[in-house]
Amino acid sequence: MGGLYAEAKLGLEVLMNKWHSEGWEHYLSIGGAVIGWTRGTGLMAGNNNVSVGIEKLGVRTFSHVERAFNLTSILHPRIVAAAAKSPLWVDSGGGMARLHYAQFPDLPAASELATLGKNYKGMINLEKTVVVVGFGQVGPWGNSRWEVESYGMFSLDGCVEFAWVLGCIKFLISPLKSGEHYIGWVDAKTQDPVADTQVKSLYAENILKHSGIRVVEPELFEGYDPKKKIILQQVDKNMRPIEVASREEGLESQKLRQGAVLSIPKILHLNRWVAGQIPTGWDAKRYGIPADVAEAVDPITLFTLVSTAQALISAGITDPYEFYQYAHVLVTHFGHVDALAIATDPEFLYDHDMMDQVVAKKMNQAQLYWGHDYYLGEPRIAPLRAASSLAMRTTTTLHLSSARTTYLCIPTAAYALMASRPHC
Q: Are residues 39 and 54 in the same domain?
A: yes
Looking at the predicted structure, is the pLDDT value of residue 311 above 50?
yes
pTM strictly above 0.75: no
Looking at the predicted structure, is the pLDDT value of residue 169 above 90?
yes
* Residue 37 contacts residue 44 (beta carbons within 8 Å): yes
Q: Are residues 293 and 370 in the same domain?
A: yes
Q: Is 125 a domain residue?
A: yes
Residues 334, 298: Cα–Cα separation, whole Å: 20
Q: Are residues 160 and 242 in the same domain?
A: no
Q: What are phi and psi of 341, to 5 degrees?
A: -105, 130
Q: Is 108 a domain residue?
A: no
* Residue 154 contacts residue 205 (beta carbons within 8 Å): no
Q: Are residues 130 and 246 in the same domain?
A: no
| Count of domains observed in the chain | 4
pLDDT in tens, 230-245: 666 666 677 676 666 6
DSSP 151: H
DSSP 35: -
DSSP 2: -
pLDDT in tens, 312-347: 888 888 888 887 777 766 666 555 544 434 444 455
The whole-number pLDDT of residue 303 equals: 84
Calculate what percentage of the chain has a pLDDT beyond 70: 63
Q: Tell me the angle at which helices 156-165 and 196-209 cross, rounded to the nearest 10 degrees.
A: 60
pLDDT in tens, 403-415: 555 556 666 555 5
DSSP E strand stretches across 339-417: 380-381, 408-414
Q: Are residues 121 and 229 in the same domain?
A: no
Q: Are residues 412 and 301 in the same domain?
A: yes
Nearest to residue 378, comparing CAs of 326, 335, 413, 414?
335
**Confidence label for 185 from pLDDT (cuts 50, 70 and 90):** very high
Residues 363, 141: Cα–Cα separation, whole Å: 27
Q: Which domain, by its residues, includes 241?
A: 221-272
Looking at the predicted structure, is the pLDDT value of residue 251 above 50?
yes
The whole-number pLDDT of residue 417 equals: 43
